[in-house]
Structure 1
Amino acid sequence: MKPDAFEDAYARIQAATRTRTQTEIAHLLGIKQSSISDAKKKNTIPDGWLITLYRSLGLEPDWVLYGQEPISRRDGFTLGAAVREPLGGYAGAPTKATVYAMRQTDPDTGSWLREALESIPLFDGLKRPNLLVVKMDSAGMEPTIRRDAYVGIDCDDVRMRSGEVYAMDIPGEGLVIKRVIRDLEAKRLTLLADNPAHQAQNLSLEHPGITPVGRAVWIIQEI
């Protein structure tokens, strides 16, 4: 069986070890940071990494390379990310989901462009028929959604219900995730950031000038 691409295996290592940067992974594996770039160029996970991950964390090489469960045979082992979602439906092996950047825009129209960043393992309980996964690139929704969190967006839910958190395509800004407040009396749509340091944005309810992309339904982030 041919191993998955380096990016996919690397994403699984990050999820299991609670690491975000190459520096953190290099420290964990006891290697130079440049070794990660070399492995990426060769599109392969070195055997030495697999041995270290197995000895230190009990990570099964087949899970790292192919995504095949079990992740680890050690009792009580769980992925390092915290998922705000009911626990049912996690029994099956994870599949890969593409993660997209939020800031990329079309130079002509200013509309958001989907630019793939990486892929992460995703269990059945987190899937949706029309799911979009993005990586949070700002602190505007902290502490609810932290910078670098993975956010699952249900693109079939664009009704913009008051109080819910939505991803919106704002021309010139890219994809923005905010809490939506609908004020029918004032005919105003308010985009709120959970971070009090960020100001609210008021738009016309009838012509807000934005395109709703979907509702945020789950997040994966460090505790």
Structure 2
Amino acid sequence: MPKKKRKCDEAQLKWFEDAMERIKKATGARTQVQLAEVLDVRQSSISDAKRRCSIPADWFLKLYRSHGLDPDWLAEGVEPVYINAEKAKIPADTLLREAPAPYGRLNSRGRVVPVSTMAGADKDAEAWEPKPMEEISMPESFCRPRLQVVKVDSASMEPVIAKGAFVGIDCERRDHPDGDLCAVHFPHQGLTIRRVYMQGDTFLLKAENEKYSDLTIPASEMDERTVGRVIWVLQNLAAL
């Protein structure tokens, strides 16, 4: 009597699919044929690996030698992406910006990131530095290489951004398109989030809440005091 083939459980299948997706992204292989060429194996070997939900260890070694990839990142998604970045075919930043998976899918990805206070590590410092106080889990697609998450402690941007909301700031985006939300540092006060408008040789930082005054900053100081652009807001739309 033939033996029954052992089926992968959900956890094994998710691990395998996530790891194979990282391999495909890092090598640019879109099909099983292309992947077999990159790994220098037969297509049947990839089918066998999928059936077992297991990736041979020598595949990780080959990918390190050919692409400089870190086996820990390939297997578990633990950064850094590369051990030898000189062999990289695709920039690490691009690989870390993974496309979102549909809601409820088994292979949906998430990441736990630190959340800082608006005041930062030292409110009186010339430059703002984060002070982590808690963590939050979010979709992988919400993350950026230089993402900073803060918890809003002011009602100045209500109703657009409520007090207590979590705000994602991309610290690589420090330009100031009129009307966009920017995070700007004020010494002795901490971080402020406002809509930014350029007016001659000054920038107007406008509050949404009429109870709060608008602020101004000399244009010559704006680049130095800008922490980044707001790219997303996570908040409740109704009282719990």
Amino acid in the other structure paired with 2:129: L
What SS is found at the alignment partner of 1:197?
Answer: coil
- TM-align CA RMSD: 2.0
Specify whether residues 147 and 107 from structure 1 end up closer, same or farther in structure 2 by C-alpha distance, changes over 3 A only.
Answer: closer
Which ranges in structure 2 are unaligned for 5 or more consecutive residues?
Answer: 1-98, 103-107
**Normalised by the size of structure 2, how large is the TM-score?**
0.52
Distance between the aligned counterparts of 2:123 and 2:191, measured in 1?
14
Listed as ranges, the matches of 1:73-222 within 5 Å are: 89-91=100-102, 92-104=108-120, 106=122, 109-183=125-199, 186-208=200-222, 211-222=225-236
Alpha-carbon spacing, 1:149–1:108, altered in 2? closer, same or farther (3 Å): closer
1:12-23 matched pairs, under 5 angstroms? none
> Cα gap change, 1:102/1:176 in structure 2, threshold over 3 Å: closer, same or farther?
same
Shift of residue 208, structure 1, vs aligned partner: 4.6
Is the CA contact 2:123–2:190 (under 8 Å) kept in the aligned structure 1?
Answer: no
User: What is the TM-score normalised by the length of structure 1?
Assistant: 0.55
Higher relative contact order (CA 8 A, sep 6+): 1
Gaps of 5+ in 1: 1-87
Q: Deviations over 1:2-50 (max 9, x none)?
A: xxxxxxxxxxxxxxxxxxxxxxxxxxxxxxxxxxxxxxxxxxxxxxxxx
Q: Counterpart amino acid of 1:146?
A: A
Aligned length: 134
List 4+ stretches of structure 1 deviating above 4 A: none
Deviation at 1:93, TM superposition (A): 3.0
Identity %: 31
Q: CA deviation at 1:207?
A: 3.5
